Structure 1
Amino acid sequence: MKPFDFAFEQTLCLEGGYSDDPDDRGGRTNWGITEATLKDACSRGLVQNKDVSALSKEEARLIYKADYWDALKLDSVLSPAIAAEIFDTAVNMGRSAAVKILQEALHYLGESLAVDGVMGMKTLGALNKWSSKDERALFVCLNGFQFMRYVGIVEMNASQKRFSRGWTKRIQTYKEG
Structure 2
Amino acid sequence: MSFDQAFEQLIGNEGRYSDNPKDPGNWSGGKVGVGTLDGTMWGVSAPVARAWGYKGRMQDLPLNMAKAIAKTKYWDVYQCDQFDDRIAFQVIDAAYNGGYPAKWLQQAAGVTVDGVIGAQTVKAVRSTDPMKIIMRFDAYRLKYMKDCQIWPDVSRGWVDRIANNLLLGAA
Fold match, TM over 0.5?
yes
Contact kept? 2:22, 2:153, Cα under 8 Å:
no
CA deviation digits over 1:103-124, x for unaligned, max 9?
A: 11112xxxxx222211111111
Q: 1:93 aligns with which of 92, 98, 101?
A: 98
What's the TM-score once normalised by structure 2's chain length?
0.83
Q: Which residue of 1 aligns with 2:41?
A: 30
Q: Distance in 2 between matches of 1:118 and 1:91?
A: 16
1:47-92: per-residue Cα shift (whole Å, max 9, x none)?
x554322111111111101111111111122x11110111101000
Mapped pair 1:64 → 2:70: yes
Trace 1:124-143 onto structure 2 (pairs within 5 A). Answer: 124-130=122-128, 134-143=129-138
Q: Measure the CA separation in 2 of the matches of 1:58 and 1:165.
A: 28
Counterpart AA for 1:7: A
Any idea what SS the aligned residue of 2:21 has?
Answer: coil
C-alpha separation between the residues in 2 aligned to 1:166 and 1:143? 15
The amino acid of 2:137's aligned partner reads L
**For 2:136, what is the secondary structure of its paired residue?**
helix
Distance 1:147 1:141 in 2: 10
| Residue pair 2:109, 2:133 contacting (<8 A) in 1 also | yes
Unaligned runs of 5+ in 1: 43-47, 108-112
Other-structure match for 1:4: 3
* Percent of residue pairs bearing the same amino acid type: 31
**TM-fit CA distance, 1:18:** 1.2
Residues 30-49 of structure 1 mapped to structure 2, 5 A cutoff: 30-42=41-53, 48-49=54-55
2:65 partner letter: E
The C-alpha deviation readout for 1:18-41, integer Å capped at 9, x for no partner, is 112221111221111011111222
Contact 1:49 1:55 (8 Å CA) reproduced: no
| Count of residues paired in the alignment | 156
Deviations 1:122-166 (A, max 9, x none): 111111111xxx11111111111111111111xxx2x43121111
Q: Is the Cα–Cα contact under 8 Å of residues 75 and 92 in structure 2 kept in the other structure?
A: yes
- Say what the alpha-carbon RMSD is for the aligned residues: 1.7
